[in-house]
Structure 1
């Protein structure tokens, strides 16, 4: 049995009722969500959306890095996004640990020096969220084309709180 057999079996079941053939890929609800890769977050469900409604961009910490900004520009100009949500979450490893702690854990797991890797740690989650939202708002190709908001998702209650 292959290590991906369970996943392929589940995919075959999913494909039996698949109905997105020919879908154009635009964001039907006009939403782009930048959030963390944490598996406790189900971006569509937490917002009452369904597949096809939003563009979802995920990375450690839900930070707005250069690649995320590029994706947001494409989303705004080509995929009908007019609302951007930046959504980090409570109890996030990259927001609640220092770079030294994360680096030590990563080095131990990898069995080698990982100092060359970028870790998206922050000294303060609220300040980082405000900076990320401002970065999106200030982008010359996004600016007034989309409303941008910063929110915090609580992984223990499922609630979203507007921060910025």
Structure 2
């Protein structure tokens, strides 16, 4: 067996020594669900003053509300106590800073094969994309009208959120 994960497993054992979420029912205690980018500069719970168990978090390239994210949002609203949804994109995002050709060329060079078949869906205008994603959520027939939905831009250099939609 390879040892590429040994450091992470050791850290997990340390984490488990003080683990205190056993028996938790999985309901979002704060009623919050967050869709954000996979960028490692984003600390979803910390940036909102939340703790483990408070929120449901979805991460994908660019923090977009795609079809799978919509399914998760419906589940969150109807089964997991979610009544506030934040859609958070961020500054200096690779998906919003490059066009599709650039991204696919870089992937192809790294992978050593053509990647132009891969849908990467770059973001040309983050503010417009956030408005579109907020609309996708607020107009979905299985998400209650009482759910509060906001689109935000997170500044990776200051740590501040700006509401834009």
User: Structures share a fold, TM > 0.5?
Assistant: yes
Q: 2 CA distance for matches of 1:153 and 1:16? A: 33
After superposition, residues 4-153 of structure 1 pair within 5 angstroms as: 4-153=5-154
Q: 2 CA distance for matches of 1:120 and 1:50? A: 31
Q: 1 CA distance for matches of 2:99 and 2:132? A: 19
Indicate conservation of the 8 Å contact 2:104/2:118, yes or no: no
Q: Which runs of 5+ in 2 are unaligned?
A: none
Q: Which runs of 5+ in 1 are unaligned?
A: none
User: Residue 90 of structure 2: SS of its match in structure 1?
Assistant: coil
Q: How large is the RMSD of aligned CA atoms in angstroms? A: 0.9
- State the shift of 1:120 in Å: 2.4
Q: 2 CA distance for matches of 1:159 and 1:110? A: 35
Q: Would you identify which runs of 4 or more consecutive aligned residues in structure 1 move more than 2 Å?
A: none
- State the shift of 1:143 in Å: 4.2
User: Residue 104 of structure 2: SS of its match in structure 1?
Assistant: helix
Indicate conservation of the 8 Å contact 1:151/1:163, yes or no: yes
Aligned pair count reads 164
Q: 2 CA distance for matches of 1:128 and 1:106? A: 23
Q: 2 CA distance for matches of 1:123 and 1:39? A: 21
After the TM superposition, which of the residue ranges 9-18 and 139-148 deviates more from structure 2? 139-148
Q: 1 CA distance for matches of 2:163 and 2:4? A: 41
Deviation per residue, 1:109-154 (Å, 9 max, x gap): 1111112211021221111111011111110011404110000000
Q: 2 CA distance for matches of 1:120 and 1:44? A: 26
